[in-house]
């Protein structure tokens, strides 16, 4: 298991304080950890997934892929997290689900 536990509150607060830079860092860390998971597509590149977050429309697709990976690992609905991410809640719920998976 390569996914680490992270404090949801810490991720939320540092994301706000750093104007989203910490969110990008943590998301890239998750992409890197996902690349080591055997249940997921072994061919995806964590760097490409992170860079996609900067490209309009591709960023929506990158988030969709992120939440599908969360669903594969945790068994919890990625669609729910994706929909809730539109109001900035879904990502932090997904962090909580990944914490449960990592425990």
Predicted confidence (pLDDT) per residue in 10-31, tens digit: 998 999 999 999 999 999 999 9
pLDDT band of 94, cuts 50, 70, 90: confident
36-43 CB contacts, 8 Å cutoff, 24+ apart: 36/2, 37/1, 37/2, 37/3, 37/69, 37/73, 39/72, 39/73, 40/69, 40/72, 40/73
- pLDDT at 1 > cutoff 60: no
The ranges assigned to domains in the chain are 8-102
The predicted structure's pLDDT at residue 87 = 66
SS3 of residue 103 by DSSP: coil
pLDDT tens for 33-65 read: 888 887 887 778 899 999 999 999 999 999 888
| Token pair recorded at residue 7 | 């404090």
């Amino acid at each position: 298991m390569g996914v680490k536990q992270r404090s949801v509150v810490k991720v939320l607060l540092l994301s706000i304080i750093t104007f989203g830079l910490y969110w990008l860092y943590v998301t890239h860390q998750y992409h890197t950890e996902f690349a080591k998971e055997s249940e997921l597509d072994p061919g995806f590149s964590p760097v490409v997934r992170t860079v996609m977050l900067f490209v309009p429309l591709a960023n929506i697709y990158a988030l969709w892929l992120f939440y599908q990976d969360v669903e594969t690992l945790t068994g919890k609905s990625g669609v729910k997290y994706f929909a809730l991410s539109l109001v900035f809640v879904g990502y932090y719920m997904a962090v909580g689900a990944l914490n449960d998976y990592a425990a």
